């Protein structure tokens, strides 16, 4: 599993909504784990976000 430092992904001069930020982090995570499926629970834990909020970004 690749450990990404998500603070490095964010550009300081660019303002993103929280939803957009989590969406981009989700895309990055999914593309770095092409060999397997990632669960919403796994990503919510990785991002430190409530699982309910992640379901809005990546619904079933």
Express each pLDDT in 35-60 by its tens digit. 988 899 999 998 898 999 889 888 76
pLDDT computed for residue 59 by the predictor: 79
What percentage of the chain exceeds 70 in pLDDT? 75
Q: Which stretches within 1-60 are classed as H helix?
A: 6-9, 18-32, 40-47, 51-57
């Amino acid at each position: 599993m690749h450990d990404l430092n998500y603070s490095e992904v964010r550009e300081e001069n660019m303002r993103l909504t929280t939803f957009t930020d989590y969406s981009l982090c989700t895309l990055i995570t999914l593309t770095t784990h092409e060999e397997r499926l990632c669960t919403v629970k796994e990503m919510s834990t990785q991002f430190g976000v409530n699982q309910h909020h992640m379901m809005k970004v990546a619904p079933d």
